[in-house]
């Protein structure tokens, strides 16, 4: 009956090279590092630097999508004016993007 069905690879005792498996594991980790981990840490560094450089009068967009001008800055919180006379206090880390000056007027 062996002539109809070929023996399975595991049954014949032909195992793979363990060195090759180890090299493939290292290569897979390297791909994950350069595709996922490194770009994410770079974005985190850039965001942290942007949040640290915020100043009064900057126009920002929050994580929730609010566009406003910074009117007051504290250690942990920032007050932004989203409309005439309407100010919202948010966490500094909730600022998603620093917009160019004049964005509010052109919107």
For residue 98, the SS3 value is strand
Same domain, 74 and 92: yes
Question: Is the model's pTM score more than 0.75?
Answer: no
**What DSSP letter does each residue of 26-54 carry, written as one string?**
HHHHHHHIIIIIHHHHHHHHHHHHHHHT-
Query: In total, how many domains does the chain have?
Result: 2
77 part of a folded domain: yes
CATH number where 95 lies: 2.30.30.60
- Domain holding 30, by residue range, is 15-53
Q: How many whole angstroms from its chain centre is CA 2?
A: 56
Give residue-wise pLDDT tens across range 19-66. Answer: 998 999 999 999 999 999 999 999 999 999 999 999 999 999 999 999
Same domain, 59 and 75: yes
């Amino acid at each position: 009956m062996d002539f109809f069905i070929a023996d399975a690879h595991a049954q014949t005792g032909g195992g793979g090279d363990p060195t090759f498996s180890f090299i493939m594991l290292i290569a897979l980790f390297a791909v994950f590092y350069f595709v996922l981990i490194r770009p994410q840490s770079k974005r985190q560094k850039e965001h942290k630097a942007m949040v640290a450089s915020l100043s009064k009068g900057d126009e920002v967009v929050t994580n929730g999508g609010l566009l406003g001008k910074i009117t007051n800055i504290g250690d942990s919180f920032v007050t932004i004016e989203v409309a005439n006379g309407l100010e919202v206090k948010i966490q500094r880390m909730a600022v998603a993007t620093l917009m160019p000056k004049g964005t509010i007027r052109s919107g």
